[in-house]
Amino acid sequence: MSAFGPAVYAGLHGTVQLDNERVLVQKLVIPAGVSTGRPVHGGDQLQVFIRGGVFKSLSTGRETLWKPGRVVWHDEPDPSDHGYINTGAAPIEMIWVSVKSWIPIAAVPAVGADQATAKYAYLNYPLIPGEDLLENEQVIVQRFLVDAGQWEGVHAHHPDMLYIHVKGGQWGARSYAEPEHPYDHPAADGEVGWMPTIDISEGHESGNIGSEPIDLIWVTLKR
The answer to whether 9 touches 15, Cβ cutoff 8 Å, is: no
- Domains of the chain in sequence order: 15-99 (2.60.120.10), 105-221 (2.60.120.10)
Position 92 scores a pLDDT of: 98
Query: Half-sphere exposure of 198 toward its Cβ, with a 13 Å CA cutoff?
Result: 20
Q: What pLDDT score was predicted for residue 198?
A: 96
Residues 161, 219 contacting (CB under 8 angstroms):
yes
For the stretch 80-98, pLDDT in tens is 788 999 999 999 999 999 9
Share of the chain above pLDDT 90, in %: 76
Mean pLDDT across 197-216: 97
pLDDT band with cut points at 50, 70 and 90 for residue 103: low
CA-wise closest residue to 152 among 131, 126, 130: 126
Judge contact between 62 and 11, C-beta under 8 A. Answer: no
Buried/exposed code over 21-30 (b: 16+ C-beta within 10 A; e: otherwise):
ebbbbbbbbb
Q: What is the mean pLDDT of the chain?
A: 90
- Do 154 and 126 form a contact (C-beta atoms < 8 A)? yes
Q: How confident is the model at residue 5 (pLDDT cuts 50, 70, 90)?
A: confident
Which pLDDT band holds residue 7 (cuts at 50, 70, 90)? confident
3-state helix, strand, coil in the chain (%, to 5): 5, 45, 50
Residue 104: what pLDDT? Answer: 53
pLDDT at position 111 is 34
Q: What's this model's pTM, rounded to 2 decimal places? A: 0.90
Q: How far is CA 185 from the centre of its chain?
A: 20
Name which of 37-41, 75-79, 145-149, 204-208 the model is least confident about. Answer: 75-79
